[in-house]
A and B are shown apart, each in its own frame.
Chain A
Amino acid sequence: MPDTQKMIPRATPLTPIKKAIVVGASGGIGTALARRLAQEEYVLALLDRSEDILNPLCDEINQIYGETRAVAYEHDATDYDKVPDFFRKVVADLGGIDLFVYVAGMIYFPTLDEFNFAEDYKMVEVNLLGAMAWMSQVAPAFQSMGSGQIVGVSSVAGDRGRVSNPGYNASKAGFTCYLEALRNRLTRHGVNVITIKPGQVKTGVFDLPNAPEKPVLAVTAEQAAEGIWKAIKKRKQVAYVGGIWRWVMLVLTHIPSVIFRRLSF
């Protein structure tokens, strides 16, 4: 028996345990969401490329609740062919799965006249292909269980292609569309698929080169996590965080191309 199985508490009828996997748990939204889910008595498998942030995060969570609620796993979401084994291992360690969250993502800000295929490729890999590799395991599992929730953290950037970041837009548009298709496949099997569309969230990305200088209508990572938790609790299908972006995007998606292509954001 792997040691992790010993550490994670098992459910009994009187002490049921909800189990979640979070892929990309070291990021700003990921860490905040992990803390929020632990608060809701989830037992968490936290996955990311490096354990540097995950290990202290797990220690922090486990210390607060005085029991093992979070376990760290080192995993690169773009190691596609490792995903099936990883999924199986993590589910065995948790003793099941109720919730799957894909919040791994990366962004590169090109300048307005820059085309950078290498960075675009990476964004598609992390933001879309990694998600598809994981969903290919999670979706059939939930389908045959006839229950479960899948959360994909996409972006408002996937709603419209803009001048500033074609590669990022494309990766997130692909993810949003993939999640919608997944929802259409899985709803009939009792599985709920949620597309989360954050607007701007105050995380490390604003320190990157070429990042927008001033965040617009930005929320903190904690507020974003709260919004995601609410969507999970209410079993929503699409949720904007912060909520104002729903209206912003409603307007943006209706601007005719003849105008939109002349705008500079």
Chain B
Amino acid sequence: MNARATFNFKHETFNMKNTFTTLENFGHSQSAPSYRFTPTTADEIYESFRLAKKTDLTVTLRGAGRSYNDASLNGGGIVLDITGMNQILEWDPGSGTVRCEAGVTLEQLWQKVLPDGWWPPVVSGTMATTLGGCLGANIHGKNNFRMGTIGEHVTEFTAVLPTGAEITCSPKKNSDLFHSMISGLGMLGVITTVTLQMKKIDSGLIEVHAWPTRTLAEQLDSLLEGAPNYDYIVGWLDTITIGHGQIHAANYVHDDPDPAKMQVDFQTLPNRLFGVMPKELLHYIMTPFFNNPGAWLINTGKYTASVRRHTFRQSHAAFHFLLDYIPKWELSYGRNGLIQYQSFLPKETALQTWSEMLATAKKRGLPSYLGVTKRHRPDDFLLSHALDGLSLALDFKVTDRNRAKLSKMLQEFDQMVLDAGGRFYFAKNSETSAETTRAFLGDEAVMRFKKLKKRTDPDGLLESDLYRRIFGNS
């Protein structure tokens, strides 16, 4: 008889109860359980890599989890949550350079620098994002055509590689890693500190010019013609009627240097609507409108309200962080959440491709509830999404019934975008395949990225669900 006197679970490496958690994407449309570690030092990061190697698991980096896809998900693997590394280490109000740990959010950053008359040169639509995440995706803002991506304002960063090496990168030093770790989706190493150059501003206000557009052509022309005259420009597009829309173009204000308006209190978004209703509850009221007729109603109402051409001034925070205006807005999309489909097209092919795309969506009864257009310019980063042209971001509600149809349609869209010489953004699209990725990045860029990865991560420890999806079979 086989006597097993002692049952020794000596391989129990993880305290499952504390670390094994279900993590979600921003749109609440995808989730995966992972072992979540929260390192606060470079040593702890390296320790996590050693544990990953020992247990044959992969490691994914996660900041605020504000990506619309699987960029910070790693089903069954380890997720390094860097939000604990959130100290602003140095701030020089004289030169406007700031050195932060990678878990510092844009919210922390602007609140630190604005009272001294500075503003982050590039921000995303939500201020919850971490600098590590911003660099990994190489985010852009409504001023992409003017200021480029956030990577162009990084003067230096430090990182821990899976090998344990600690490196410093700048446009000159380790230039190849500088231009690939920024945009590298956290797949080459862990960025630990970031030095950024802020932009000097003269006022806590920004002057916004709003005007309506009646057709998609008019909207795209407005962006192309308007961009050179403004610091920021962005279009809202009603994709249900196709073409109704509104342009918001904004300039920094130079004639209102009131220091009180540069204080955080002045900038902060009100947390109550009409002074009474907590905005935390607003998404419940919005939920009933997040279906095809409801979205038509809201889009039409919004267009009607925006027909008047007008100019107004608002705080930087209110202008930039539209996604934070309604907290938890993404819950309005219901149980299965939302996905975003963003495509970047050259000026020449944009109108025809998107016209076709939106007509297809309308015909199939799969309209996008929100469309946003922007003006872009190319950059030097390896996994770049940008080009000299325009982008259109479409939010789609996911339901059990539309999944298969939506999936098929987006695959067709991918082909249309590729045929039109377009590109995609890895922080947004959730369905981009390895084939599509290779097609728009080009074999050379993919090979260069893999070669760099072999160097920084020889054991292939850094992998996310996103990485497996877009580089899986290539």
A and B held together in a complex: yes
Interface residues of A (CB under 8 A from B): 1-2, 5-6, 10-16, 78, 80-85, 88-89, 91-97, 118, 121, 133, 136-137, 140-141, 143-147
Q: Are A14 and B431 in contact (CB under 8 A)?
A: yes
Bound: A11/B33 CA distance, A:
12
B363 at the interface (CB under 8 A from A): no
Q: Are A80 and B7 touching (Cβ within 8 A)?
A: yes
Tell me if A's interface is mostly helix, strand, loop or mixed. helix
* Docked pose: A27 CA to B27 CA in angstroms: 42
The contact of B55 among A11, A88, A96, A136, by CB within 8 Å, is A88
- B1-28 contacts to A, CB under 8 A, are 1, 4, 7-14, 16-22, 25, 27
In the bound complex, residues from chain A placing their C-beta under 8 Å from that of B33 are: 91, 96-97, 141, 145
Asked if A14 and B16 sit within 8 Å, CB to CB, the answer is no
Cβ-defined contact, B431 with A5, below 8 A: no
Q: Once bound together, how far apart are the Cα atoms of A16 and B69, in whole Å?
A: 13
Q: How far, in angstroms, from A160 to B404 measured CA to CA in the complex? A: 49
Pick from B11, B22, B70, B336: contact of A12, CB under 8 Å: B70
Q: Is the CB of A143 within 8 A of B17?
A: yes
Judge if B76 is at the interface, Cβ distance under 8 Å: yes
Offer 5 A-B interface pairs, CB within 8 angstroms, sorted by A: A81-B7, A118-B1, A121-B1, A145-B21, A147-B22
Contact A1 B58, beta carbon cutoff 8 Å? yes
In the bound complex, how far is the Cα of B472 from the Cα of A11, in angstroms?
Answer: 13
Query: Knowing A1-B460, A13-B339, A143-B17 touch, does A81 contact B32 (C-beta < 8 A)?
Result: no
A118 to B463 Cα, complex, angstroms: 47
What is the chain A residue whose CB lies nearest that of B75?
A: A95
B149 within 8 A of A: no
A144 near B21 with CB under 8 A, answer yes
| CB–CB B9/A2 < 8 A | no
With A88-B55, A95-B465 as contacts: A141 and B407 at CB distance below 8 Å: no
B56 at the interface (CB under 8 A from A): yes
Provide the bound-state CA to CA distance between A168 and B32, in Å: 39
Chain B residues with CB under 8 A of A13 = 25, 27, 29-30, 69, 336-337, 339, 398, 430-431
A14 & B57 in contact (Cβ 8 Å cutoff): no
Closest CB in chain B relative to A148 CB, distance in Å:
9
By a CB distance below 8 angstroms, the chain B residues around A6 are 468, 472
The answer on a CB contact under 8 Å between B77 and A144 is no
Which one, B10, B21, B76, contacts A92 given CB within 8 A? B76
Q: Is B455 an interface residue (CB 8 A)?
A: no
Distance (Å) between the CB of B105 and the closest chain A CB?
Answer: 25
Q: Quick one: which of A10, A80, A83 has the most chain B CB within 10 A?
A: A10
- What chain A residues lie within 8 Å of B406 (beta carbons)? 14
B410 CB, nearest partner CB in chain A, Å: 7
Chain A residues near B19: list those with CB within 8 A. Answer: 144
- A97: contacting residue among B69, B76, B430, CB under 8 A: B76
Least CB separation from B406: chain A residue? A14
The answer on a CB contact under 8 Å between B75 and A81 is: no
Looking at A80, A121, A144, the one whose CB has the most chain B CB atoms below 10 A away is A144
Say yes or no: B431 contacts A12, CB within 8 Å: yes
Chain A CB within 8 A of B364 CB:
no
Q: Are B16 and A92 in contact (CB under 8 A)?
A: no
Task: Name the A residues within 8 Å of B16 (CB-CB).
Answer: 137, 140-141, 144
Residues of A within 8 A of B410 (CB): 14
Which residue from A15, A89, A133, A146 sits with its C-beta under 8 Å from B7? A133
User: If A89-B56, A92-B77, A95-B75 touch, does A81 touch B11 (CB 8 Å cutoff)?
Assistant: yes
Q: A81-B10, A137-B16 are in contact. Are A11 and B75 (CB under 8 A)?
A: yes
A12, A91, A144 pick with most chain B CB within 10 angstroms: A12
- Docked Cα-Cα span, A13 to B460, in Å, equals 25
B54-68 toward A: CB 8 Å interface, digit per residue (1/0)? 011110000000000
> Top 9 closest A-B pairs, CB basis?
A95-B75, A13-B29, A92-B76, A14-B407, A96-B75, A91-B76, A140-B16, A13-B30, A145-B22
